[in-house]
Protein backbone atom coordinates (compact mmCIF):
# COMPACT_ATOMS: atom_id res chain seq x y z
CA UNK A 1 0.00 0.00 0.00
CA UNK A 2 1.32 3.43 -0.96
CA UNK A 3 0.47 6.22 1.48
CA UNK A 4 0.84 9.99 1.37
CA UNK A 5 1.15 11.47 4.86
CA UNK A 6 0.42 15.21 5.05
CA UNK A 7 2.18 17.41 7.60
CA UNK A 8 5.51 18.06 9.28
CA UNK A 9 5.06 17.99 13.04
CA UNK A 10 5.62 15.61 15.92
CA UNK A 11 2.12 14.19 15.41
CA UNK A 12 3.00 13.33 11.82
CA UNK A 13 6.30 11.74 12.87
CA UNK A 14 4.32 9.56 15.29
CA UNK A 15 1.86 8.70 12.48
CA UNK A 16 4.75 7.76 10.17
CA UNK A 17 6.41 5.68 12.90
CA UNK A 18 3.18 3.81 13.64
CA UNK A 19 2.22 3.24 9.99
CA UNK A 20 5.74 2.01 9.18
CA UNK A 21 5.09 -0.95 11.51
CA UNK A 22 2.01 -2.06 9.59
CA UNK A 23 1.85 -5.64 8.28
CA UNK A 24 0.60 -4.02 5.05
CA UNK A 25 4.28 -3.07 4.52
CA UNK A 26 3.47 0.38 3.17
CA UNK A 27 5.56 2.64 0.99
CA UNK A 28 5.32 5.97 2.78
CA UNK A 29 5.55 9.42 1.22
CA UNK A 30 5.32 12.62 3.26
CA UNK A 31 4.51 16.19 2.26
CA UNK A 32 6.47 18.02 3.41
CA UNK A 33 7.66 15.80 6.30
CA UNK A 34 10.71 16.57 8.46
CA UNK A 35 14.12 14.97 9.12
CA UNK A 36 12.59 12.50 11.59
CA UNK A 37 9.78 11.50 9.23
CA UNK A 38 12.44 10.99 6.54
CA UNK A 39 13.52 7.91 8.51
CA UNK A 40 10.25 6.24 7.48
CA UNK A 41 9.08 8.09 4.38
CA UNK A 42 10.26 9.77 1.20
CA UNK A 43 9.71 13.48 1.91
CA UNK A 44 8.51 15.71 -0.91
CA UNK A 45 8.48 19.51 -0.91
CA UNK A 46 4.74 20.18 -1.05
CA UNK A 47 3.26 22.30 1.76
CA UNK A 48 0.60 20.78 4.02
CA UNK A 49 -1.91 23.53 3.09
CA UNK A 50 -1.36 23.25 -0.67
CA UNK A 51 -4.42 21.17 -1.54
CA UNK A 52 -3.88 21.31 -5.32
CA UNK A 53 -0.22 20.37 -4.93
CA UNK A 54 -1.04 17.48 -2.59
CA UNK A 55 -3.69 16.04 -4.87
CA UNK A 56 -1.41 16.33 -7.91
CA UNK A 57 1.31 14.52 -5.96
CA UNK A 58 -1.06 11.78 -4.82
CA UNK A 59 -2.17 11.21 -8.40
CA UNK A 60 1.31 11.30 -9.87
CA UNK A 61 2.57 8.82 -7.27
CA UNK A 62 -0.58 6.68 -7.55
CA UNK A 63 -1.04 6.51 -3.81
CA UNK A 64 -3.69 4.27 -2.26
CA UNK A 65 -4.39 6.43 0.78
CA UNK A 66 -3.90 10.06 1.83
CA UNK A 67 -3.43 10.50 5.60
CA UNK A 68 -3.84 14.13 6.68
CA UNK A 69 -2.20 15.17 9.98
CA UNK A 70 -3.33 18.80 10.51
CA UNK A 71 -6.76 20.40 10.06
CA UNK A 72 -5.86 23.18 7.60
CA UNK A 73 -5.89 21.06 4.40
CA UNK A 74 -9.13 19.39 5.53
CA UNK A 75 -10.90 22.70 6.13
CA UNK A 76 -9.56 23.73 2.69
CA UNK A 77 -11.12 20.69 0.97
CA UNK A 78 -8.34 18.07 0.67
CA UNK A 79 -10.72 15.16 1.29
CA UNK A 80 -13.24 16.53 -1.24
CA UNK A 81 -10.52 16.89 -3.89
CA UNK A 82 -9.39 13.31 -3.18
CA UNK A 83 -12.97 12.01 -3.41
CA UNK A 84 -13.42 13.62 -6.83
CA UNK A 85 -10.47 11.60 -8.10
CA UNK A 86 -11.46 8.40 -6.35
CA UNK A 87 -8.55 8.65 -3.88
CA UNK A 88 -9.09 7.35 -0.34
CA UNK A 89 -8.45 9.95 2.38
CA UNK A 90 -8.58 9.30 6.12
CA UNK A 91 -9.97 12.75 6.97
CA UNK A 92 -13.31 14.56 6.66
CA UNK A 93 -14.74 16.68 3.84
CA UNK A 94 -14.59 20.46 4.20
CA UNK A 95 -18.26 20.43 5.22
CA UNK A 96 -17.59 17.92 8.01
CA UNK A 97 -14.36 19.70 9.02
CA UNK A 98 -16.58 22.62 10.07
CA UNK A 99 -16.76 20.70 13.36
CA UNK A 100 -13.34 22.23 13.97
CA UNK A 101 -13.57 25.28 11.72
CA UNK A 102 -16.62 26.87 13.36
CA UNK A 103 -17.61 26.82 17.03
CA UNK A 104 -21.16 27.98 16.30
CA UNK A 105 -21.53 25.10 13.81
CA UNK A 106 -20.44 22.60 16.47
CA UNK A 107 -22.85 24.16 18.96
CA UNK A 108 -25.70 23.83 16.44
CA UNK A 109 -24.83 20.15 15.92
CA UNK A 110 -24.69 19.63 19.69
CA UNK A 111 -28.08 21.28 20.14
CA UNK A 112 -29.68 19.26 17.32
CA UNK A 113 -28.23 15.98 18.61
CA UNK A 114 -28.88 16.74 22.30
CA UNK A 115 -25.20 16.40 23.13
CA UNK A 116 -24.32 17.57 26.66
CA UNK A 117 -22.44 20.86 26.35
CA UNK A 118 -22.28 24.30 27.98
CA UNK A 119 -25.41 26.46 27.59
CA UNK A 120 -24.66 29.01 24.85
CA UNK A 121 -25.79 31.80 22.54
CA UNK A 122 -24.33 32.87 19.21
CA UNK A 123 -23.98 36.65 18.67
CA UNK A 124 -22.77 38.88 15.83
CA UNK A 125 -23.07 42.43 17.18
CA UNK A 126 -21.68 44.32 20.17
CA UNK A 127 -25.09 45.22 21.68
CA UNK A 128 -26.31 41.61 21.36
CA UNK A 129 -23.08 40.31 22.89
CA UNK A 130 -23.19 42.74 25.84
CA UNK A 131 -26.84 41.93 26.53
CA UNK A 132 -26.02 38.22 26.39
CA UNK A 133 -23.14 38.65 28.86
CA UNK A 134 -25.52 40.32 31.31
CA UNK A 135 -27.94 37.40 31.01
CA UNK A 136 -25.19 34.84 31.65
CA UNK A 137 -23.29 36.72 34.40
CA UNK A 138 -19.70 35.92 35.39
CA UNK A 139 -17.83 33.64 35.11
CA UNK A 140 -18.55 33.28 31.39
CA UNK A 141 -16.67 32.11 28.31
CA UNK A 142 -16.29 34.20 25.12
CA UNK A 143 -15.24 32.32 21.98
CA UNK A 144 -14.39 33.50 18.49
CA UNK A 145 -16.33 31.39 15.99
CA UNK A 146 -13.48 30.67 13.57
CA UNK A 147 -9.99 29.19 13.74
CA UNK A 148 -7.84 31.53 15.84
CA UNK A 149 -4.64 29.57 16.59
CA UNK A 150 -5.46 29.05 20.26
CA UNK A 151 -6.23 32.75 20.87
CA UNK A 152 -9.97 32.61 20.36
CA UNK A 153 -11.19 31.57 23.82
CA UNK A 154 -11.41 33.85 26.86
CA UNK A 155 -12.55 32.28 30.12
CA UNK A 156 -13.59 35.46 31.93
CA UNK A 157 -13.95 35.53 35.70
CA UNK A 158 -15.52 39.03 35.66
CA UNK A 159 -18.04 40.71 33.34
CA UNK A 160 -15.53 43.51 32.69
CA UNK A 161 -13.06 40.97 31.35
CA UNK A 162 -15.74 39.37 29.18
CA UNK A 163 -16.83 42.75 27.82
CA UNK A 164 -13.24 43.64 26.96
CA UNK A 165 -12.94 40.36 25.01
CA UNK A 166 -16.17 41.08 23.14
CA UNK A 167 -15.03 44.59 22.19
CA UNK A 168 -11.59 43.39 21.10
CA UNK A 169 -12.97 40.66 18.85
CA UNK A 170 -16.21 42.17 17.49
CA UNK A 171 -15.49 45.92 17.46
CA UNK A 172 -11.70 46.06 17.03
CA UNK A 173 -11.37 42.94 14.86
CA UNK A 174 -8.45 41.59 16.93
CA UNK A 175 -8.90 38.12 15.40
CA UNK A 176 -10.04 39.23 11.96
CA UNK A 177 -12.91 37.35 10.36
CA UNK A 178 -12.60 34.52 12.91
CA UNK A 179 -13.87 36.88 15.62
CA UNK A 180 -16.78 38.52 13.79
CA UNK A 181 -19.19 35.95 15.19
CA UNK A 182 -18.94 34.86 18.84
CA UNK A 183 -20.20 32.00 20.94
CA UNK A 184 -20.87 33.06 24.53
CA UNK A 185 -21.27 30.19 26.91
CA UNK A 186 -21.64 29.03 30.45
CA UNK A 187 -18.40 28.29 32.30
CA UNK A 188 -18.04 24.58 33.05
CA UNK A 189 -15.96 23.22 35.91
CA UNK A 190 -14.01 19.99 36.07
CA UNK A 191 -10.94 18.22 34.77
CA UNK A 192 -10.47 18.14 30.98
CA UNK A 193 -9.71 15.13 28.81
CA UNK A 194 -9.50 14.51 25.07
CA UNK A 195 -11.24 11.49 23.57
CA UNK A 196 -10.18 10.28 20.11
CA UNK A 197 -12.54 8.26 17.94
CA UNK A 198 -12.00 6.67 14.54
CA UNK A 199 -15.04 7.28 12.33
CA UNK A 200 -16.17 5.98 8.92
CA UNK A 201 -19.09 8.36 8.41
CA UNK A 202 -21.51 6.10 10.22
CA UNK A 203 -19.67 4.12 12.90
CA UNK A 204 -17.09 5.18 15.47
CA UNK A 205 -14.68 3.31 17.73
CA UNK A 206 -12.59 4.84 20.54
CA UNK A 207 -8.83 5.18 19.98
CA UNK A 208 -7.96 6.31 23.49
CA UNK A 209 -8.02 9.26 25.84
CA UNK A 210 -5.22 11.74 26.53
CA UNK A 211 -4.63 14.84 28.58
CA UNK A 212 -2.76 17.81 27.13
CA UNK A 213 -0.85 20.60 28.95
CA UNK A 214 -1.56 23.77 26.97
CA UNK A 215 0.20 26.55 28.92
CA UNK A 216 3.88 27.16 28.29
CA UNK A 217 4.99 27.15 31.94
CA UNK A 218 4.99 24.76 34.88
CA UNK A 219 1.79 24.69 36.96
CA UNK A 220 -0.20 25.91 33.93
CA UNK A 221 1.29 29.42 33.85
CA UNK A 222 2.10 31.71 30.93
CA UNK A 223 0.56 31.88 27.46
CA UNK A 224 -1.27 29.10 25.64
CA UNK A 225 0.69 26.93 23.21
CA UNK A 226 -0.15 24.17 20.78
CA UNK A 227 0.58 21.79 23.67
CA UNK A 228 3.66 21.18 25.84
CA UNK A 229 3.05 17.57 26.81
CA UNK A 230 0.45 14.84 27.10
CA UNK A 231 -0.23 11.56 28.81
CA UNK A 232 -2.45 8.52 28.41
CA UNK A 233 -4.48 6.90 29.91
CA UNK A 234 -6.30 9.56 31.92
CA UNK A 235 -7.20 8.20 35.39
CA UNK A 236 -10.16 10.58 35.82
CA UNK A 237 -11.73 9.17 32.65
CA UNK A 238 -12.07 5.40 33.17
CA UNK A 239 -13.46 3.06 30.45
CA UNK A 240 -17.09 3.36 31.62
CA UNK A 241 -16.89 7.14 31.17
CA UNK A 242 -15.36 6.65 27.71
CA UNK A 243 -18.35 4.48 26.80
CA UNK A 244 -20.72 7.16 28.10
CA UNK A 245 -18.95 9.86 26.06
CA UNK A 246 -19.06 7.68 22.92
CA UNK A 247 -22.78 7.08 23.47
CA UNK A 248 -23.84 10.60 24.41
CA UNK A 249 -21.38 12.74 22.41
CA UNK A 250 -19.53 10.99 19.55
CA UNK A 251 -22.28 8.73 18.17
CA UNK A 252 -24.99 11.44 18.23
CA UNK A 253 -22.66 13.92 16.50
CA UNK A 254 -21.87 11.35 13.82
CA UNK A 255 -25.56 10.56 13.30
CA UNK A 256 -26.43 14.25 12.99
CA UNK A 257 -23.62 14.86 10.47
CA UNK A 258 -24.82 11.88 8.40
CA UNK A 259 -28.44 13.08 8.60
CA UNK A 260 -27.32 16.43 7.15
CA UNK A 261 -25.64 14.68 4.24
CA UNK A 262 -22.12 15.55 5.45
CA UNK A 263 -20.91 12.34 7.11
CA UNK A 264 -17.72 12.54 9.17
CA UNK A 265 -14.83 10.27 8.22
CA UNK A 266 -11.51 10.31 10.01
CA UNK A 267 -10.41 10.96 13.57
CA UNK A 268 -12.79 12.94 15.72
CA UNK A 269 -11.12 14.62 18.71
CA UNK A 270 -13.65 15.47 21.41
CA UNK A 271 -12.39 17.99 23.98
CA UNK A 272 -14.37 17.19 27.12
CA UNK A 273 -14.98 18.71 30.52
CA UNK A 274 -15.65 15.99 33.08
CA UNK A 275 -18.31 17.74 35.14
CA UNK A 276 -20.28 16.53 38.14
CA UNK A 277 -23.09 15.78 35.61
CA UNK A 278 -20.81 13.65 33.40
CA UNK A 279 -18.65 14.47 30.36
CA UNK A 280 -19.67 17.59 28.44
CA UNK A 281 -18.40 18.66 25.03
CA UNK A 282 -16.12 21.71 24.92
CA UNK A 283 -15.06 21.41 21.29
CA UNK A 284 -14.43 19.05 18.44
CA UNK A 285 -11.28 18.85 16.34
CA UNK A 286 -11.15 16.80 13.16
CA UNK A 287 -7.72 15.19 13.57
CA UNK A 288 -5.34 13.77 16.14
CA UNK A 289 -3.91 16.16 18.71
CA UNK A 290 -0.30 17.26 18.85
CA UNK A 291 1.27 16.20 21.27
CA UNK A 292 -1.58 13.81 22.22
CA UNK A 293 -0.75 11.61 19.20
CA UNK A 294 2.85 11.19 20.38
CA UNK A 295 1.54 9.60 23.61
CA UNK A 296 -1.46 7.73 22.15
CA UNK A 297 -0.05 6.13 19.01
CA UNK A 298 2.82 4.34 20.80
CA UNK A 299 0.17 2.73 23.06
CA UNK A 300 -1.98 1.48 20.19
CA UNK A 301 -1.80 -2.31 19.96
CA UNK A 302 -3.34 -2.43 16.48
CA UNK A 303 -2.43 -1.80 12.85
CA UNK A 304 -2.91 1.98 12.57
CA UNK A 305 -2.62 2.00 8.80
CA UNK A 306 -5.24 -0.74 8.45
CA UNK A 307 -7.56 1.22 10.76
CA UNK A 308 -7.09 4.48 8.83
CA UNK A 309 -7.70 2.72 5.54
CA UNK A 310 -10.92 1.22 6.86
CA UNK A 311 -12.10 4.63 8.06
CA UNK A 312 -11.29 6.12 4.64
CA UNK A 313 -12.61 3.42 2.37
CA UNK A 314 -14.59 0.88 4.36
CA UNK A 315 -16.21 0.40 7.72
CA UNK A 316 -14.94 0.47 11.29
CA UNK A 317 -18.08 -1.32 12.57
CA UNK A 318 -17.23 -4.05 15.04
CA UNK A 319 -13.59 -3.02 15.44
CA UNK A 320 -12.22 -2.51 18.94
CA UNK A 321 -8.64 -1.23 18.62
CA UNK A 322 -6.65 -2.41 21.62
CA UNK A 323 -4.22 -0.39 23.67
CA UNK A 324 -1.04 -1.81 25.23
CA UNK A 325 -1.24 -2.12 29.00
CA UNK A 326 0.56 0.63 30.92
CA UNK A 327 0.93 4.30 30.14
CA UNK A 328 2.76 6.84 28.00
CA UNK A 329 3.98 10.36 28.78
CA UNK A 330 5.06 12.73 26.00
CA UNK A 331 7.17 15.82 26.80
CA UNK A 332 7.55 18.57 24.21
CA UNK A 333 10.99 20.17 23.91
CA UNK A 334 10.54 23.69 22.53
CA UNK A 335 12.91 26.37 21.26
CA UNK A 336 13.63 29.13 23.79
CA UNK A 337 11.24 32.01 23.18
CA UNK A 338 8.31 29.76 22.17
CA UNK A 339 5.43 30.53 21.75
CA UNK A 340 6.10 34.25 21.12
CA UNK A 341 9.44 34.33 19.31
CA UNK A 342 11.23 30.97 19.20
CA UNK A 343 14.97 31.18 18.56
CA UNK A 344 15.71 28.92 15.60
CA UNK A 345 18.91 27.51 14.11
CA UNK A 346 20.19 26.19 17.47
CA UNK A 347 22.15 22.94 17.41
CA UNK A 348 20.27 19.86 18.65
CA UNK A 349 22.30 16.81 19.71
CA UNK A 350 22.15 13.79 21.98
CA UNK A 351 19.39 12.02 20.06
CA UNK A 352 21.23 8.69 20.05
CA UNK A 353 21.78 8.93 23.82
CA UNK A 354 18.12 9.89 24.34
CA UNK A 355 16.95 6.90 22.29
CA UNK A 356 19.29 4.62 24.25
CA UNK A 357 17.21 5.34 27.39
CA UNK A 358 14.31 3.54 25.68
CA UNK A 359 12.36 6.75 25.00
CA UNK A 360 10.81 7.42 21.59
CA UNK A 361 11.71 10.65 19.81
CA UNK A 362 9.29 12.36 17.47
CA UNK A 363 10.72 15.33 15.59
CA UNK A 364 8.78 18.46 14.70
CA UNK A 365 10.65 21.76 14.14
CA UNK A 366 14.00 20.30 13.12
CA UNK A 367 16.17 20.82 10.05
CA UNK A 368 19.32 19.12 8.83
CA UNK A 369 22.44 21.27 9.24
CA UNK A 370 25.28 21.32 6.66
CA UNK A 371 27.35 18.99 8.92
CA UNK A 372 24.44 16.48 8.92
CA UNK A 373 23.53 17.38 12.49
CA UNK A 374 20.17 18.85 13.43
CA UNK A 375 19.16 22.41 14.25
CA UNK A 376 15.90 23.85 15.58
CA UNK A 377 13.57 25.06 12.83
CA UNK A 378 10.26 25.61 14.63
CA UNK A 379 8.75 26.47 18.01
CA UNK A 380 8.08 22.92 19.11
CA UNK A 381 11.27 21.06 18.19
CA UNK A 382 10.64 17.47 19.23
CA UNK A 383 8.57 15.30 21.57
CA UNK A 384 10.12 12.69 23.83
CA UNK A 385 7.76 9.84 24.73
CA UNK A 386 8.29 7.40 27.57
CA UNK A 387 6.23 4.23 27.94
CA UNK A 388 6.02 2.25 31.16
CA UNK A 389 3.98 -0.02 33.36
CA UNK A 390 2.22 3.03 34.82
CA UNK A 391 2.23 6.82 34.44
CA UNK A 392 5.05 7.23 36.99
CA UNK A 393 7.34 4.83 35.11
CA UNK A 394 6.43 6.39 31.75
CA UNK A 395 7.13 9.84 33.14
CA UNK A 396 10.56 8.84 34.51
CA UNK A 397 11.52 7.42 31.14
CA UNK A 398 10.31 10.47 29.19
CA UNK A 399 12.34 12.82 31.40
CA UNK A 400 15.39 10.53 31.24
CA UNK A 401 15.16 10.83 27.45
CA UNK A 402 14.86 14.62 27.64
CA UNK A 403 17.85 14.84 30.02
CA UNK A 404 20.01 12.89 27.56
CA UNK A 405 19.46 15.48 24.81
CA UNK A 406 22.07 18.13 24.17
CA UNK A 407 20.01 21.19 23.28
CA UNK A 408 21.04 24.36 25.13
CA UNK A 409 18.62 26.35 22.93
CA UNK A 410 15.62 24.42 24.25
CA UNK A 411 13.29 24.22 27.24
CA UNK A 412 10.44 22.01 28.42
CA UNK A 413 7.89 21.80 31.19
CA UNK A 414 9.07 19.84 34.23
CA UNK A 415 5.58 18.88 35.37
CA UNK A 416 4.02 16.89 32.52
CA UNK A 417 1.80 14.22 34.13
CA UNK A 418 3.16 15.22 37.56
CA UNK A 419 -0.31 15.39 39.10
CA UNK A 420 -1.19 11.82 38.12
CA UNK A 421 2.19 10.05 38.35
P1 LIG B 1 -11.22 25.49 23.06
O2 LIG B 1 -10.37 26.29 22.12
O3 LIG B 1 -12.67 25.50 22.76
O4 LIG B 1 -10.63 24.13 23.33
O5 LIG B 1 -11.03 26.20 24.47
C6 LIG B 1 -9.77 26.34 25.04
C7 LIG B 1 -9.85 26.10 26.52
O8 LIG B 1 -10.76 27.01 27.13
C9 LIG B 1 -10.39 24.72 26.90
O10 LIG B 1 -9.40 23.75 26.84
C11 LIG B 1 -10.90 24.98 28.28
O12 LIG B 1 -9.84 24.93 29.21
C13 LIG B 1 -11.42 26.38 28.22
N14 LIG B 1 -12.87 26.38 27.99
C15 LIG B 1 -13.51 26.34 26.79
N16 LIG B 1 -14.84 26.33 26.97
C17 LIG B 1 -15.06 26.35 28.29
C18 LIG B 1 -16.24 26.37 29.12
N19 LIG B 1 -17.46 26.37 28.60
N20 LIG B 1 -16.06 26.40 30.45
C21 LIG B 1 -14.83 26.42 31.00
N22 LIG B 1 -13.69 26.42 30.30
C23 LIG B 1 -13.79 26.39 28.95
N1 LIG C 1 -2.81 19.72 21.59
C2 LIG C 1 -4.04 20.28 21.20
C3 LIG C 1 -4.36 20.13 19.78
O4 LIG C 1 -3.71 19.42 19.04
O5 LIG C 1 -5.34 20.74 19.36
Q: What is the pLDDT of residues 290-330, one digit of tens each?
A: 999 999 999 999 999 999 999 999 999 999 999 999 999 99
Q: Whose CA is nearest to atom 3 of ligand 2?
A: 289
Rounded percentage of the chain residues whose pLDDT exceeds 70: 100
pTM of the model: 0.96
Distance CA 34, CA 325 (A): 30
Q: Is the pLDDT of residue 345 over 80?
A: yes
Q: Is the pLDDT of residue 150 over 80?
A: no
DSSP 312-373: HHS--TT----B-SSEEEEEEEEETTTTTSPPPS-EEB-HHHHHHTT-EEEESSEEE-TTS-
pLDDT of 211 reads 97
Distance CA 175, CA 144 (A): 8
Give distance in angstroms: CA of 186 to centre of ligand 2.
Answer: 22
Output the ligand 1 site: residues, CB below 6 A: 118, 141, 153, 155, 185, 187-188, 192, 271, 282-283
Distance CA 57, CA 55 (A): 5
Give distance in angstroms: CA of 341 to centre of ligand 2.
Answer: 20
Q: Is the pLDDT of residue 350 over 90?
A: yes
Q: Whose CA is nearest to atom 19 of ligand 1?
A: 187
Give distance in angstroms: CA of 370 to centre of ligand 1.
Answer: 43
Residues near 15 by Cβ (< 8 Å), separated by ≥ 6? 5, 7, 67, 69, 288, 293, 297, 304
Kindly give the number of the ligand 2 atom that is closest to the alpha carbon of 292: 1
Q: Whose CA is nearest to atom 2 of ligand 2?
A: 289
Q: Whose CA is nearest to atom 4 of ligand 2?
A: 289
Query: Do residues 366 and 382 make contact, with C-beta atoms less than 8 angstroms apart?
Result: yes
Kindly give the number of the ligand 1 atom that is closest to the alpha carbon of 152: 2
Q: Which residues pair with 205 in a beta bridge?
A: 198
Average model confidence (pLDDT) across the chain: 97
Kindly give the number of the ligand 1 atom that is closest to the alpha carbon of 271: 4
Give distance in angstroms: CA of 372 to centre of ligand 2.
Answer: 31
Positive or negative, the CA dihedral 101, 103, 109, 115 is: positive
Q: Is the pLDDT of residue 151 over 90?
A: no
Ligand showing the shortest atom-to-Cα distance for residue 284: 1
Give distance in angstroms: CA of 227 to centre of ligand 2.
Answer: 6
Q: Is the pLDDT of residue 38 over 80?
A: yes
Kindly give the number of the ligand 1 atom that is closest to the alpha carbon of 186: 19
pLDDT of 334 reads 98
Ligand showing the shortest atom-to-Cα distance for residue 286: 2
Give distance in angstroms: CA of 106 to centre of ligand 2.
Answer: 17
Residues near 86 by Cβ (< 8 Å), separated by ≥ 6? none
47: pLDDT confidence band, cut at 50, 70 and 90?
A: very high
User: For residue 280, what is the enclosing H or E element?
Assistant: strand 278-285
Ligand showing the shortest atom-to-Cα distance for residue 143: 1
Q: Is the pLDDT of residue 239 over 90?
A: yes
| 23 CB-contact burial (10 Å; exposed 0-12 / middle 13-18 / buried 19+) | exposed
Amino acid sequence: MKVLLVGSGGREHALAWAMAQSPLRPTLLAAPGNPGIAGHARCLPVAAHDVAGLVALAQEERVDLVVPGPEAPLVAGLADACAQLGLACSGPSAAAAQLEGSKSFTKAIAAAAQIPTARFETVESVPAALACLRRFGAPVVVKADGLAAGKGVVVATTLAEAEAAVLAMLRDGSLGAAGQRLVIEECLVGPEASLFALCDGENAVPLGVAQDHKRVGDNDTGPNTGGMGAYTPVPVMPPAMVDAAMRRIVHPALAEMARRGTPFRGILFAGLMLTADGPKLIEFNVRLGDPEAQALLPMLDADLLGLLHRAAAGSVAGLAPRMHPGAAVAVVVAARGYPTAPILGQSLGGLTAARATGALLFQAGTATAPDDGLVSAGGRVLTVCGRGADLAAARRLAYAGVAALNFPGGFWRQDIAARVA
